[in-house]
Amino acid sequence: MMRRLAITIASIVMACAGPAAAERLVVSLSNHRVAVTSNFVGEELVLFGTIEPDPATSPLRPPYDLVVTVTGPNQTIRTRRKERVLGIWVNVDSREFVAVPSYLAVLSNRPVSNIASQDTLRRLQVGLDNFLLPQRIGVDVADTVRDEPFRRAFVRLQTQQGLYRESGTAVTFLTPTVFRAAIPMPAAVPTGTYTIDVKLFGGGVLAARTSSALEVIKTGFEQYVADAARDYGLLYGMATAMMALVIGWFASVIFARD
Amino acid sequence: MQIYLPIADLPVNVFLVLGMGLAVGYISGMFGIGGGFLMTPLLIFIGISPAVAVATVSSHIAASSFTGAISYWRKRALDIALAMMLLSAGIVGTATGVWLFTELRALDQLDLLIGLSYVTLLTIVGAMMIYESVRAIIRTRHGMPATLRRPGSHTWLHGLPFKLRFKRSKIYVSAIPVWAIGFIIGFIGAIMGIGGGFLLVPMLIYFLRVPTATVIGTSMVLTLVTMASATVMHAATNHLVDAVLALILMVGGVIGAQFGARTGQKMRGERLRLLLGLLVFAVGCRFAYELVVRPDDLYSLRYVMGG
């Protein structure tokens, strides 16, 4: 209720701000559900969209810039650092990144640093460097400066696995107002609900914003096995041990040489 | 052909994993060992997390040792009484190992523990096997009979109380060293994802004077039960056993083991032990290298449960 009220007030304020034209984003995703099956090796989703004038009569003012931020389900991930202790390399120090996206892709039509000022990017959390990645430091949970070694290592390792990425070429403008974004889903994508946040920039200022969602699910046999392992660990273990015995017995029957 | 592993959460090539199962199975059949000390590092190498590798390999070893145990049972080369005695302690050892595995995983020191245990165990056992077999080979060259020191000399182990008689193996020993050996094998197996056959066989021969006729069959029964229970315990506590991965490994493993056993029977005993010693030592050195040399990446990630 409060939210709706706030939006109404905001729109009134915007309407009162004068004849300044506003834009509206209309987006559509090629597929809202990614199924992880036994032969899943990754997939690419395509997001199509157009920039519409709002209200319909107001003129559009290209060129526009577009940033698509895709975030996967939150996860707590520990980053560990090895140090030399008594001649061998041991995990000594570690930091916990609390409730950070398990998947994070920042896709745009040109490098985000060219799209808007550093202040704007920081405030809107645009780009891997500007995204909030809270760490547990003692009893506090806070994001650090982007050059902090643990944060840099974390982003680098997630990028190496294809789970974090920033691409200044993944969004293409087909016409000045129609765009297409390729969202890569690597084979190791975590399952869960993903949110897609689309931001439109005009002249370095946020002009419009919309969001969408998609779901990554394990299906069929994979889902069954993963659920069984998590929910019925003991039974699952016994079943696996039985399978071992049956295969072992089977082999001795097949290869019996008498 | 790629297949997605539900617990390891990554796709692997079926033929690659099947080939690894075949190759390790061949070696294990040839030397009469489980082959876990080769399989676990190989799985880690193709990108499976050490924890999932250790937990899954235990089920693979259970399968191959069951095949072996059946064939030794047919040849009546199996001492059930001794196996049961070792087992009663082996289960306790496995449970302790799984518990420590869980604790250390929470402390981020599991990889270190696995690495260190591999280095110490494999280099020492490998070096001992090389030494022993080279001496045996030299002695046969000089025309001397290559028999091991005859069990007859009594050690302090024979002075311990709770003596038991094992009829099939024709030995009369205290229960204490039997329990100790069972516990150690169960414990090491759960932590390192190995059956411990390459450790158990020499221990049984040198400490308990078990004759060679029954030693491998008996060791296989122990391996079978500790690894089957390790599978169940790892699945129940850590939820890390990947049944799909285990199935592919088992199928490759049991087939490879049959061919390996045929090759092994054609080779001379001391040659076989030298080869196995070199293999064990090489794997140990590989792990030592990894611990001592500065890693390419000092940082690593671990997913914390929940969230």
Nearest CB among B112, B235, B295 relative to A240 is that of: B235
- Measured between CA atoms, the residue of chain B closest to residue A95 is B301
Cβ-proximal residues to B117 (8 Å cutoff; 6+ apart), any chain = B188, B191, B192
pLDDT for A21 equals 54
pTM assigned to the model:
0.71
A244 and chain B in contact, CB less than 8 A = yes
- Please choose, from the candidates A244, A157, A246, the residue with its C-alpha nearest in 3D space to the C-alpha of residue B234: A244
The ranges assigned to domains in chain B are 6-145+156-292
pLDDT for B301 equals 77
Amino acid letter, A103:
Y
Nearest CB among B66, B109, B112 relative to A249 is that of: B66
Collect all residues of chain B within an 8 Å Cβ-Cβ radius of residue A95. none
Higher-pLDDT residue of B73, B160: B73
- Please choose, from the candidates B179, B199, B200, the residue with its C-alpha nearest in 3D space to the C-alpha of residue B93: B179
**Model confidence pLDDT, tens digit, residues A13-44:** 444 444 455 788 899 988 888 888 777 778 88
d(CA B198, CA B27): 12
pLDDT for B75 equals 78
**Model confidence pLDDT, tens digit, residues B162-207:** 677 776 667 777 778 888 888 988 888 777 767 777 788 878 877 7
A76 and chain B in contact, CB less than 8 A = yes
- Measured between CA atoms, the residue of chain A closest to residue B73 is A252
The region that residue B76 occupies, defined by phi over 0 for left and psi between -120 and 50 for alpha, beta otherwise, is: left
Collect all residues of chain A within an 8 Å Cβ-Cβ radius of residue B55. none
Interface test with B, best of A247, A254, A255 (most B CBs within 10 A): A247
A92 and chain B in contact, CB less than 8 A = no
With contact defined as beta carbons under 8 Å apart, do A24 and A54 qualify?
yes
CA dihedral A158, A159, A160, A161 (to 10 degrees): 60
With contact defined as beta carbons under 8 Å apart, do B256 and B24 qualify?
yes
Q: What is the mean pLDDT of chain B?
A: 80
pLDDT for B112 equals 78
Interface test with A, best of B13, B102, B248, B300 (most A CBs within 10 A): B300
DSSP label of B149: P
Mean pLDDT of B60-69: 85
Task: List phi, psi (to 5°) of A141.
Answer: -125, 115
Burial of residue B129, with CB atoms counted within 10 A of its CB: 0-12 exposed, 13-18 middle, 19 or more buried: buried
- Measured between CA atoms, the residue of chain A closest to residue B64 is A248
**Model confidence pLDDT, tens digit, residues B86-140:** 888 888 998 898 888 888 877 767 777 777 888 888 888 889 888 888 888 888 8
Query: Which 3 state secondary structure label does DSSP give B294?
Result: coil
Mean pLDDT of B144-159: 56
Is residue A180 pLDDT above 90, yes or no?
A: yes
Cβ-proximal residues to B77 (8 Å cutoff; 6+ apart), any chain = B213, B214, B216, B217
Q: What is the mean pLDDT of chain A?
A: 83
A234, B235: Cβ pair inside 8 Å? Answer: yes
- Please choose, from the candidates B187, B174, B31, B175, the residue with its C-alpha nearest in 3D space to the C-alpha of residue B95: B187
Structure tokens at B195: 């059956």
CATH class, domain A23-218, is mainly beta
**Model confidence pLDDT, tens digit, residues A68-105:** 999 999 888 888 888 888 878 887 888 888 889 999 99
Is residue A190 pLDDT above 90, yes or no?
A: no
Higher-pLDDT residue of B101, A124: A124
Please determine, for the modelled complex, whether the ipTM score is greater than 0.85: no
Confidence of residue A5 (pLDDT cuts 50, 70, 90): low
pLDDT for B157 equals 63
Nearest CB among B63, B111, B294 relative to A244 is that of: B63
Is residue A8 pLDDT above 60, yes or no?
A: no
B70, A252: Cβ pair inside 8 Å? Answer: yes
A233, B237: Cβ pair inside 8 Å? Answer: yes
pLDDT for B145 equals 57
Nearest CB among B6, B231, B300 relative to A241 is that of: B231
Confidence of residue B306 (pLDDT cuts 50, 70, 90): very low
Q: A31 to chain B nearest CA, in Å? A: 21
pLDDT for A71 equals 93
d(CA B90, CA B98): 12
- Measured between CA atoms, the residue of chain B closest to residue A226 is B6
pLDDT for B147 equals 53
A217 and chain B in contact, CB less than 8 A = no
Collect all residues of chain A within an 8 Å Cβ-Cβ radius of residue B255. 251
pLDDT for A17 equals 42
Give the residue carrying structure tokens 């997630």. Answer: A158
Interface test with B, best of A71, A221, A240 (most B CBs within 10 A): A240
Half-sphere exposure of B233 (CA within 13 A, CB side): 26
Is residue A254 pLDDT above 70, yes or no?
A: yes
Give the residue carrying structure tokens 């009829």. Answer: B167
pLDDT for A257 equals 59
A158 and chain B in contact, CB less than 8 A = yes
Is residue B1 pLDDT above 80, yes or no?
A: no
Task: List phi, psi (to 5°) of B280.
Answer: -60, -45
Cβ-proximal residues to B268 (8 Å cutoff; 6+ apart), any chain = none
Which of A184-188, B164-168, B254-258 has the least mean pLDDT? B164-168
B292, A248: Cβ pair inside 8 Å? Answer: no
Which of A60-64, A72-76, B48-52, B153-157 has the least mean pLDDT? B153-157
pLDDT for A12 equals 45
pLDDT for A18 equals 40
Domain limits, CATH 2.60.40.1930, in chain A: 23-218
pLDDT for B16 equals 92
Give the burial string for A192-207 (b: 16+ CB within 10 Å, else e).
Answer: eebebbbbbbbeeeeb
B300, A82: Cβ pair inside 8 Å? Answer: yes
